[in-house]
A = this chain, B = another copy of it.
Amino acid sequence: MTPIDRPEPASGLARTPEPPYWAVIFSTRRNHQPGDQFDATDQRMMALAAQQPGYLGVETAFRDIGITVSYWADEASIAAWKRNADHAFAQYEGRTRWYDAYELRVARVERAHSFVREP
Contact = CB atoms under 8 A, between A and B. Distances in A.
Contacts of A112: 103-106
A108 B62 CA distance: 23
Copies per complex?
2
A48 interface: no
Interface of A: 11-14, 16, 19, 23, 25, 27-29, 31, 59-67, 69, 95, 99-117
19 contacts: A12-B64, A12-B65, A13-B28, A13-B102, A14-B27, A16-B105, A27-B59, A59-B103, A60-B65, A60-B67, A61-B61, A62-B63, A67-B67, A101-B115, A102-B114, A103-B114, A105-B109, A106-B109, A106-B111
